[in-house]
Every structure is written in structure tokens, then in C-alpha cells.
Structure 1
Amino acid sequence: MSIAEYLDLSARILSESAAYAGCAQVDRAVEVLVDALSAGYPLLVCGNGGSASDAMHITGELVGRFLKERRALNCICLSSNPAVLTAWANDYAFETVFARQVEAYAKPGGVVIGISTSGNSKNVVTAFEAAKSCGMATIALTGEGGGSLAAIADILIDVPSRSTPIIQQVHICLYHYLCEQVEARLVATGAS
């Protein structure tokens, strides 16, 4: 595949994502995030590999700032503490490294965002199960169909592709939009 073909494919999936039914889910996600963060409830974000980097990116934008000056938001990346990840995975199971942290940081009214291109990452699924038992809302960013997360997520935002790198490219656009909208609404209402 040439660079022109790759960029054309990327542009096509972005365009399809804009017309996709998941856009209504993005608007729902903005509302849930604004409600939680304006009340000071935590946003916990997790993913593996490239999605772990995306989880760190989201929390960096919300703890720091995206485009506007505002107060820091209560946002924690569950992929970013190697001591917790390795201790728990070594002594128990990697499938529960995020669920254990949800248990530690959960507050009813908070939100967990799980990023998984397949939608089948077991540690993200168990994090959602833990979130449900703690009274937290769940938002999944996945590829087409949502995998196992589709059945458990309160809000499913699935990109209409099965190509991991293409899905990740669209995820960046989607979560930048989420950050922009959440920040703008919090600043406009004086909640931040």
C-alpha cells in the first residue's frame, strides 16, 4: 500500500465514522462526562498497548488543559502506574489489574472509559464489571461491533473498521472531540 492509499483509507474511515450511528453515542458520552466531572467525580481511563498511550493522552488533556484555562479535572489513567500494574499482575492476574484500581478509586457517579480496538481486552472488560458494581458509568471506545464490551458498556463508541491502526487513528479524533466538548461545557457553566 502506498502512502497515498493509506491516507485515502484513513480519510474514508474518518468520513464513515462521521456518518456512523456512533456519533449520537459520542454526544451521550459528553453529557455523562460533564455531569461526573462537574460534580468532582473521578474519570478513570484504561487500555493496553497503543490504547494505554491513548488513556494517558486523555488524562493528560483533562488534568492539564486542552484548549482553555480551567481547574484540573479528577482524571486517572489506570495504565500509567507500573508498580501497581506489575505487582498486581505478578501476584494475581493481569486480567484484573484495572478492576483492582477501579475498586481503589471508584465513586458512584464517576465514569470509566475503556479503550480496546477489539472490544475484547479481558482487563478492560473486568474493569467495566467492577465499575458497574461500584455505581460508575462506562464508556467503551472500540472497533466495529464493540466485541465483549458491547454487552456491558453503558455507551459504546465503535469505529466502523477492524484495522487496529485505523481504529486508533479515529479514536484520537474522537477523544480529542470529547476533551474539547467537556472542557468547553465545564468552562461555559462555570463548573471548571
Structure 2
Amino acid sequence: MYKNDIKEYLENEINTLKKLDITKINQAMKLIYETYENQGNIYIFGNGGSSATASHFQNDFNKGISEYVEKKFKFICLNDNIPTIMAIANDIGFGEVFRFQLKGKLEKNDIVIGISGSGNSENVINAVKYAKTCNSKVIGMTGFDGGKLAKLSDISLNVPMNSMQITEDIHMIFDHLIMAIFYKTICGKNHIIG
């Protein structure tokens, strides 16, 4: 009953994957690795499904890779502390939930990764603009036409597809792709077993 729809979705995903800019993924990986080497913090954040992706990144690097290395990754997911998010949203405004957490904390070697499918989430844009005033490098993960976030980012990882679902799928692929390669190059382990 659903076979044609399944096939169409998978074909759209495959075709979109083929359009990804490998050079930009490589640049993002180099920046993340340099930040790791310099023991900088990597602040990551997003809304909705993107918040789940941000949490997943933190888990995969702070536990997944860091389990096997002496020097640890320092990912900080700004959407994981619900009481902090709710207090900022209630007392100041939802548009400030990420920027407020960055204020006075960004240091020389820190970077930020903002995730927004549309590229136009106000709270993500506010945080990225603040990061730019602190001279922190920004990796933006977007879909559709990239929106404001793509333009503000030092490195834009755009999924060129007008589908939030495929955009979010591929944002998770960015996480697992980068993790798997670092798992091999930093930890000396193969992510494929068997």
C-alpha cells in the first residue's frame, strides 16, 4: 500500500545526499578537530527535532569518542537544561534562550554549531550573531535555501532539499559521519563491526 511513497522518500534522500558539499563537510570537520585539539568548547543548539540532533551530537562526542581518548571533547548542548531554558523563556523571552547562555562564556578557542532546518529560527540566529561579535567561528546546519543562518555561518552545512524530514535525517548523518571518521582517525577504531 505504501511502497511507492517509501520508494519516493528514499530516492529523494539518496538524491539529496549526492548533492551535499563534501568540501564544506571537510572544513567543518577540520574546525571541530582544531577546537578539540585546542581544548575549546563546542556549543551546539537547536529547536524541536534540531534540539534532539544537538543532544545526539553531544552524546556521540562526549561519550562515544571521548570514552577512548585521554583528551576529551567538550560539547555543550544549550537546549538540554530544561529549567534554564524555561526560566530564560519566561523571564526574558524565547528568542534569548541560547544567546543568554553564551553571554560572558565564549572564549578564544570556542566555536558554536547552530542547527535550524529553515535557517531562520530567531533564537538560533540571535545566538549566532552574538558568537560572531565574540569572534567565535560558526558552523550552521540548515535545509531549504539555508535562510539567515547559512549567510551568517563561517561554514554552512546546507541540505538542499525542501523537506524538513530529509533535512533532519541528513543532519543526523552529519553527526554520525563525523563521529565515525573521528572514531577511526582519533580513536583508531572502526565503526563497522563484523
Global fold match (TM > 0.5): yes
Instruction: Work out the percentage of aligned pairs sharing the same amino acid.
Output: 27
Hey, what does 2:57 align to over in structure 1?
58
Q: Pairwise mapping of residues 1-192 of structure 1 onto structure 2 (< 5 A)?
A: 2-20=2-20, 22-66=21-65, 69-71=68-70, 72-187=72-187
Considering only CA atoms, is the larger Rg found in Structure 1 or Structure 2? 2
Assess, with a 3 A threshold, how the Cα gap between structure 1 residues 91 and 3 changes in structure 2: closer, same or farther.
Answer: farther
Q: Deviations over 1:117-166 (max 9, x none)?
A: 10000111111111112221111111032101122111111112111111
Assess, with a 3 A threshold, how the Cα gap between structure 1 residues 124 and 31 changes in structure 2: closer, same or farther.
Answer: same
Name the CA distance, whole Å, in 2 between partners of 1:3 and 1:44.
40
RMSD of aligned residue pairs (Cα, Å):
2.0
| Runs of 5+ unmatched residues, structure 1 | none
Is this contact kept in 2: 1:42–1:105, CA < 8 A?
Answer: no
Aligned length: 187
Name the CA distance, whole Å, in 1 between partners of 2:92 and 2:67.
41
TM-score (norm 2): 0.88
Q: Deviations over 1:45-86 (max 9, x none)?
A: 100011101100000001101497224311110000011111
Q: What SS does the aligned partner of 1:61 have?
A: helix
Q: How far 1:98 sits from its partner (Å)?
A: 0.5
Q: Which structure is richer in relative contact order (CA contacts within 8 A, separation 6 or more)?
A: 1
**What amino acid is aligned across from residue 141 of structure 1 in structure 2?**
M
Name the CA distance, whole Å, in 1 between partners of 2:117 and 2:108.
27
